Every structure is written in C-alpha cells, then in structure tokens.
Structure 1
C-alpha cells in the first residue's frame, strides 16, 4: 500500500498529528458484477506452514475479457487495495478484467474473526492466531526472487497461453515490483516478453521515491546489517508498530480493518472501537464509526501523505460527531475497501523484511554486483519494449514521472504516458470516487489504445 517508513516509515509522527485534532454491494451488484472470485493459484514450495504455497488473485470483470490488468499492491498492501479501482476500470473499458495479486504472505493472516458478530472482541481480546516471528524462519527467504516466481504464475495464468493481453502494474512498491518483473531474467527469457504494457501508480525505480525525502537504504554496508538482523530473527517488518496501536507486526493492520468493518456496517452508530483506543489516538469527544475511520485516514488529522486521503472532516457539533464528506474520497469508499473480510483485504499483516531489502536494492534498476549477490536477476532493463503508463500524486513531488522518463530514455519502450494530480495523496487513487479519480480517467484511454 505504501512505499514505506523511511520509504518504510509510513506512520512516523502520527500520534502527535492525531492528538492535535462478504459480498460486494451497491454499484458492483447493480452493474451485474456480483461475482468477484478470490482465486488460489498453486506456487512453488517456500517452506512456510501448510497452505502457504499458494497465491491469490481477486478477479473483477468479465472472464471473457481479452485484456487482463494484473495489479500488485505496495508495502503492507493487499489485493483489496484495488477492488474499487478495478470496478471503475471495468465499467470504463469494455473487454478488460482486473486481477489484484495477493502475495503468499497473506496466507499467514487469521481473518476468520471478520465472519463473526464481534470482530473487535476476537482480535483485541487476543483470540486470533498470530504468526510468531520466532517460529517463522522460512520468511527470511521470502524476498523478491520468491515474489517474482509467484507473480509469474499469475501473469502466465492471466495470459491463457497467449490468448489474452496482460498489462502488469502496481501501486507504490507494487509498481517497483512490476518494473523488476519486466527486467527479470526467467531462465533466459526477459519478463517483459510476458506482458503487453506496464502501469506504474505512484511508484517505480531509479529514484522514484526521492521526492518524498525518505532515503533508500541500499548501500552494501546497510544491506549486510539488514540481512544480519533478518538472520537473527527479525523476519517481519515491524515499522507499523510505531503507530502505537500494538506491538505485533499485524497490530496496526488489524485496527485499520476493524475501523473499516464497523464504519461499513454502521457508519452513523457510536464508535465501537473508540473506548478501546490508546489514549494518545482517541478522539477527545464521542464519534461515530464512520467518524473514527475518518480520523485514522484523512490528511486533515496530520497523517503523512503515504497513508492518507482527502475525505472530509468530523461534524463541528453533536453529542456523537459523525463524518462529513467534502473531499474526493468519500469515507464510505474507504470503509468498503478497508472492511475487507476473510478474503481480499486491504492490509497485509506480515511483510517480510527480506522483501524490503530487495526492493531497496532494485531501485537503481541495474544488474549490479549487489543485486546479483542477492539473487536479483535484473538483466534486461535496457530491453524493455512495451508501452508505459505512469501516474503520480503529490506524494513524491514529481520524481515518480522524472524517474520513469529515465527508464524510457534507457530502454526500447515505444512510448510513455505520464499523468499527475497534485490534489491527490498516495492512497486517493485507490479509493477516490470515480468521477474525481484522475487515475481512472487517464488510465482508461491508455488501456483502450493498446494494440
């Protein structure tokens, strides 16, 4: 979902900012898309627990489509990031289906509590199954090479033996992943031979994130230190614990999904979660379920660009203050996405630290000694010859597009389409109302124009 705090620290400084201040419904069903299957695909063994040698794709749109857009979520993101965007794209572009990719790590999450009447009790009272880093040494090997092989299974399944076009893209570090795939060497075959176009949404390579002011930690010395920490047991990225919502790798993600779940089902009811929030994050007056979600995601409460949207504000008065939509991303859209369920959620619980290391090392987009030492097969960066679409928000202050232009200048990409909307934050393109979503409006004609 995000590029990270530094590049991975998506939530640094949030406490002070806040203290200052099942089945799809609605349009999807109305349009006849009442089936959005969450399909498992078998992948090579990775040494994890039973049931983890598979990935999933959330499929939105007609199975008869001649073009499949495979989208990869960013850091701490999951397939549910793309559900609303996918519905909007499928409505806008006939003959397109969207496959949202869930990495194998999603198999580690216990989401069964979201099928109960009291998910807050299930999770906040500690009844769920948590993945213990001490018994998860297998995750030390779940880096980019593993993700590339898993993603290739998805890309080849989408292509159906070459009978369908495949457009590969992603958001934030998902865009970086897509670029790595295009340059990857699969036993002598370049990854870009598997696809017909690339789509980068607020991410990429070659300094794409420089404008955020967050450093890429990929010097040989830093990489050695990070790998040593992983071998020492730090197999999951723990940076989201800095929010103050719990000490486990998954704590923050659970809180966000809970907030979405209650806001989706009873937006105007008094917040179920507010009494259980840490003091530093609890609003100082009673709020509704929708209001609480708004305080956790809206940029107006001091959240950084990485994890915020432009939604609205709390009502100025009332015994229980509700949410007032004034921005491009209605809180109901965020609630629908965040609510998730036992399948296709928005937040990934267990992000492997090794994947963070590898994606930092990929940033120069070159077949370096360091990349080779980590098994990163970036051997075809100069050969890329498929069209490229790039979209940037205010997040990186222009470096998403400028870095993509460098890629085009140093490859055989026939043309690039570059779009920007400085009125959007990093997550707005995923959840904004279709009529306000510049990503949808500009990506649709790019997809329509592919031949």
Structure 2
C-alpha cells in the first residue's frame, strides 16, 4: 500500500496526535458475487505447501475488451482496489479490473475473521503466525520472483491475445509495473505484453524524491541490507514503527480488526480501544467507526503515506462517534479494510528482499548493481506504450516529474499527467466516487487506448 512510511522513516509525533484529552455501506450481494477471487498457479518459490500460487480479485465483466491489472504497493493487497475498480467499471463498462495479490498472501492466517471473536483470535495469539526464523525461503522472494508471478497474471488477463492488457499499480506497485515494462523475459521486453501503463502515486526515476526520504540504494547500503536478510531478517518490519506490535504482521492485523468492527458494528463502543497500547489509546470512549478514523485520518498525525482525509470525532456524546467531513468516508475505508477473510487490504509478510530490489529499480537502468541482483531492467529506452501518471500531495510533485523523465528517455507515444493535491497517498483508493479525481481522469485515458 505505502511505499514504506515515508520510505521507511521511523514515525514521529503520532502519540500526540491521538491523545484526545478534550476532545458507505457494502455493495449488494449480487455485485460481490461478480467479483471472484481466483487462484493462479505459479513457479516454485520454496515456500510452504500452497504458496506456489497467486490470486487476483476480478471486478467487471469477463466480456470486457480491456483488462486493467493493478499491483498494490508496499504492505498492500488486492482489496486496496475493489472500490476503485467498481467505480472504474461503472464509468467504463468495457474494462475488467484484476487486482493482484502476491504469493506472500498465502502465508497469512485470516481464518479468524470468519469466526465469532476475531479480536480474541488475533490479539490473544491464537492465529498461525509465520515465524521469520522458519522462513528462509522468503530471502529469495524479490522482484524477479514477483515479476515472474505477475507475468502469469498478465498472460491470463490477455486471454490468448483476445484482450488488451493495461498494467498499473499504486505506490511501489507502480514501481513494480514499470519494472515489468522494462524487464527482459528471455529476450522479450515486458512492455510488449501491454497496451498501456498506469502509475498511481508511484514510479521510478526519482518518483519518491519529494517525500524527503533518500532511496537506500548505494552499493554499501545494499550490501548491508542483503547481509541482514542472510542473517534471518527476511521480512520488512517498517510498519512496526506505528506502535501496534513488533511482529511483521502486528500492525496489519490491528488495521484489519479496526476495519472489521467499524464495518460490522460502526456505532457501538469500540471493542479494540481497551486493548490498544497506552501511547495510542484515545482518552475518551469512541465507537468502532471512530477508532478506525483515528487510525487512518491525517488529522491525527499519521504520515501522508498511510492516511486519508476522512473526518473527525463527533463533538459530543458519552461515546464519541465519527463525522465524515472529507473526501473519503470512513464507511468506505471500513468496507475495504474489513476484507474478510480474503482478499484483504494489508499484506502481512512483505519480503525484505523485495524492498531492496524495488529501491534499486528506482534508477530504472541496467546498472552493474541491478545486474548483480539479477534485475533485468534492459528495455526502459524501448518503452512504446501510452502512460498515465497520477499524483497526490504525497511526494510534492515528483511523481509526475519522474514520469516525464521516463517518457523523455523512451519511445512512449503520449502520456497523461494528473494531480490532486487535496488527496493523501491512500485517498485515491477509497475516496467517495464523486470526489475521486483518479477515477474521473483515468477512465478517459483507458477509453482512448487503441
């Protein structure tokens, strides 16, 4: 979802933003039935039984002549795109959206969300956790593994050449899409599989420079990071900085629990509030919906890359509720975050090697460092498909400027650039239909592809 909490910065100031001293519903069942979550077998990756597969969430008609394959960003998963996909399909019936879940999603135990007490199942440690010490296989789950898996999805979406395939993604998912386009698949450039590229608040060639966080891609930094992975640090722990636990999956579990209760019982007093860490626990009683709002709204001190513009706590009441005042209603966030059990919004076990490879991909060139990591970024100059780039306030303009550098150094025939500085990094995924600049501008781009 995020490219890494301001590129793996340690969060600061959050507790102060959450210290409250003073103070959309789910789609119809018929629509959900038309949104299958489908498994595709992929190559062997050395993981546990059942992990040699990926999944796609399909939204829209199978008769569509264009498939838009979307890749979620860091810690993101397929349900990031469900609401966005519904809006796109409604605006453009000739499109079907395929939201991609990486093989890492097979490691998550989401069965507790089908039971009577998800809180106890997860917060009391009853779930099946993936032990990093027993996960040496994940050291090899880098960008090469991801792109080989993604190619299976792209080929399936093409239906033996009967459909156009547009590849895109959000944040580091956009970086992944660009890597695919420049990749050498046994002599065939990845972009030849595609009709277009869609970058949503991400990319390459300095796309994240505006966040103020340096890309950790010097040879010495890469050497140190690879040594840590070899030493057993196979999963990225960036989200532990939120303060909701120190396991790879801790924060993601909390977010999904918050979404679950906010979606299914929004107006009741929060069942999670008493279990929250002291530094993050609201100091007044709040509802389930309000607790989710506190965990995701930018007004409570969260960084741009993990927040939305939703609303605020109600002014009064023995138990404070939530008042929507922004472009992203908390009910839409709740519907997406609830997931349950799959697809979900948050990936639990993000491989540290994938973080390394995506940082090196930022240069978007066939460098010695890239080659040493097995990254086959050989065809950037040959890109010859239209490109769409959308930026929020997240990177302060560098998403579009980076995309322009890519276009200038390639054979891309034309590009569309859009900006909405009233959005934070996650708003394009969940914003209300009428307030989502992404869907309003992306639909014409997709309609114009030939």
Shared fold, TM over 0.5: yes
- For 1:103-114, list aligned pairs within 5 A: 103-114=102-113
Match of 1:4 in 2: 4
Conservation of the 8 A alpha-carbon contact between 2:70 and 2:99: yes
Conservation of the 8 A alpha-carbon contact between 1:11 and 1:307: no
SS in structure 1 opposite 2:356?
Answer: helix
The size of the alignment, in residue pairs, is: 448
Match of 1:414 in 2: 413
Match of 2:140 in 1: 141
- Cα distance change, pair 310–266 in 1 and its aligned pair in 2 (3 A): same
Conservation of the 8 A alpha-carbon contact between 1:33 and 1:61: no
Match of 2:363 in 1: 364
Partners of 1:304 and 1:435 in 2: how far apart?
Answer: 25
Conservation of the 8 A alpha-carbon contact between 1:257 and 1:338: yes
Match of 1:18 in 2: 18
Quote the offset at 1:13 in angstroms: 4.2
Conservation of the 8 A alpha-carbon contact between 1:206 and 1:407: yes
- For 1:103-182, list aligned pairs within 5 A: 103-182=102-181
Conservation of the 8 A alpha-carbon contact between 2:25 and 2:332: no
Quote the offset at 1:134 in angstroms: 0.3
- For 1:197-212, list aligned pairs within 5 A: 197-212=196-211
Match of 1:438 in 2: 437
Match of 2:344 in 1: 345
Conservation of the 8 A alpha-carbon contact between 1:9 and 1:240: no
Deviation digits for residues 63-109 of structure 1, max 9, x if unmatched? 11110000000000000100000000000001110000000000000
- Cα distance change, pair 342–43 in 1 and its aligned pair in 2 (3 A): same
Conservation of the 8 A alpha-carbon contact between 1:274 and 1:292: yes
Match of 1:236 in 2: 235
- For 1:42-441, list aligned pairs within 5 A: 42-441=41-440
- Cα distance change, pair 317–25 in 1 and its aligned pair in 2 (3 A): closer
Partners of 2:394 and 2:343 in 1: how far apart?
Answer: 25
Moved more, 9-18 or 39-48: 9-18
Conservation of the 8 A alpha-carbon contact between 1:10 and 1:306: no
**TM-score normalised per structure 1:** 0.98
Quote the offset at 1:9 in angstroms: 3.4
Partners of 2:12 and 2:231 in 1: how far apart?
Answer: 25
Deviation digits for residues 152-175 of structure 1, max 9, x if unmatched? 000000001111000000000000
Deviation digits for residues 334-354 of structure 1, max 9, x if unmatched? 000000011110000000000
**TM-score normalised per structure 2:** 0.98
Partners of 1:210 and 1:89 in 2: how far apart?
Answer: 29
Quote the offset at 1:10 in angstroms: 7.4
Quote the offset at 1:117 in angstroms: 1.4
Quote the offset at 1:240 in angstroms: 1.1
Partners of 2:47 and 2:3 in 1: how far apart?
Answer: 26
Partners of 1:262 and 1:77 in 2: how far apart?
Answer: 20
SS in structure 1 opposite 2:5?
Answer: coil
Partners of 1:344 and 1:305 in 2: how far apart?
Answer: 24
Deviation digits for residues 110-164 of structure 1, max 9, x if unmatched? 0000001110000000000000000000000000000010000000000011110
Conservation of the 8 A alpha-carbon contact between 1:10 and 1:304: no
Partners of 2:15 and 2:370 in 1: how far apart?
Answer: 37
Partners of 2:26 and 2:120 in 1: how far apart?
Answer: 28
Partners of 1:124 and 1:27 in 2: how far apart?
Answer: 29
Gaps of 5+ in 2: none
Moved more, 81-90 or 235-244: 235-244
Quote the offset at 1:25 in angstroms: 6.6
Partners of 1:282 and 1:253 in 2: how far apart?
Answer: 17
Partners of 2:10 and 2:39 in 1: how far apart?
Answer: 30
Conservation of the 8 A alpha-carbon contact between 1:6 and 1:215: no
- Cα distance change, pair 425–25 in 1 and its aligned pair in 2 (3 A): closer
